[in-house]
Amino acid sequence: MTTGSAAAAKGRSRAGKRVGRKSERRGETESSREEILAVATEEFAQRGLSGARVDAIAERTRTSKRMIYYYFESKEGLYKAVLEHVYSQIRSIESHLDVDSLAPIEAVRRIVELTFDYDESHPHFISLVNVENVNHGQFVSKLVAIRKRYSNILQLMQSVLDRGVASGQFRADVSAIDVRLVIAALCFFRVSNRYTFGALFDCDLADPQMRRHHRQMIVDAVLRFLRA
């Protein structure tokens, strides 16, 4: 078991190094490990942790099931890696944006738009978060690196709020976490519940026109929520 971990860890760095060489040989940019991860992301997002089949993942890669266990040790290990990967890709959306250089209202608008666009263009991420919640979040809670990043997001949000309150544009009785919740809920729900909401209310949330409309609407809703 200990040897197993060590082997996997080594394999990881090796796989990293390998990219260049192998890509020359095969004319591909993806190492086996990365390919497995990409396919597994889709599979877990579409079928859930228990619904995903290791064999199905293996078949869709150019490599074999053996390699999944070689690199990730177990189905659960692969799932964890997928989760960590998609969460780390967000890279604290806010930190890509120099919110401090924007006026509070403009900063909030940009944060909402970024969140909206990210969620809309990453349905796999949304789906995986859903899967994780169905599983009572057993695995997210262990992603310490990710959690740290999220606390930064809150701090950034808080600074924007503080400036808005100081300038008299925002009300003072809203916390950063509240705003995050409102923004996340409005952006996330559209994507996560597109199938049930779409079916029950007979509308297509993926329609570009609807999407544009809701993008504006959510920005507006959040600003109204914050306005003094």
Partner DNA sequence: TGACGTGTACGATCTAGTTCGTATAATTGC
Partner DNA sequence: GCAATTATACGAACTAGATCGTACACGTCA
150: part of which helix (H) or strand (E)? helix 144-166
Query: Is position 221 an interface residue for a copy of itself (rule: CB under 8 A)?
Result: yes
Minimum CB distance to DNA smaller for 26 or for 213:
26
User: Pick from DNA, a copy of itself, none: which does 14 bind, CB < 5 to 8 A by kind?
Assistant: DNA
Q: Which of 92, 108, 118, 109 is nearest to 187 (CA)?
A: 118
Among 24, 25, 101, 201, indicate the residue that binds a copy of itself (CB under 8 A).
Answer: 201
Going by C-beta distance under 8 Å and a sequence separation of 6 or more, which residues neighbour residue 26? none
Three-point CA angle 101, 108, 172, nearest 5°: 100
Q: Which stretch binds a copy of itself (CB under 8 A): 8-16, 30-38, 99-107, 135-143?
A: 135-143
Q: Which of 32, 23, 123, 122 is nearest to 78 (CA)?
A: 32
Query: Is position 172 an interface residue for a copy of itself (rule: CB under 8 A)?
Result: no
Among 141, 152, 155, 167, indicate the residue that binds a copy of itself (CB under 8 A).
Answer: 141
With the CA atoms of 11, 41, 154 and 97 taken in that order, what torsion angle do they form, in degrees rounded to the nearest 10? 90
User: Pick from a copy of itself, DNA, none: which does 201 bind, CB < 5 to 8 A by kind?
Assistant: a copy of itself
Q: Look up residue 143 and give its amino acid.
A: L
Binding site for a copy of itself (CB under 8 A): 45-51, 127, 129-134, 136-137, 140-141, 146-147, 150-151, 154, 174, 177-178, 180-182, 184-186, 188-190, 192-203, 214, 217, 220-221, 224-225, 227
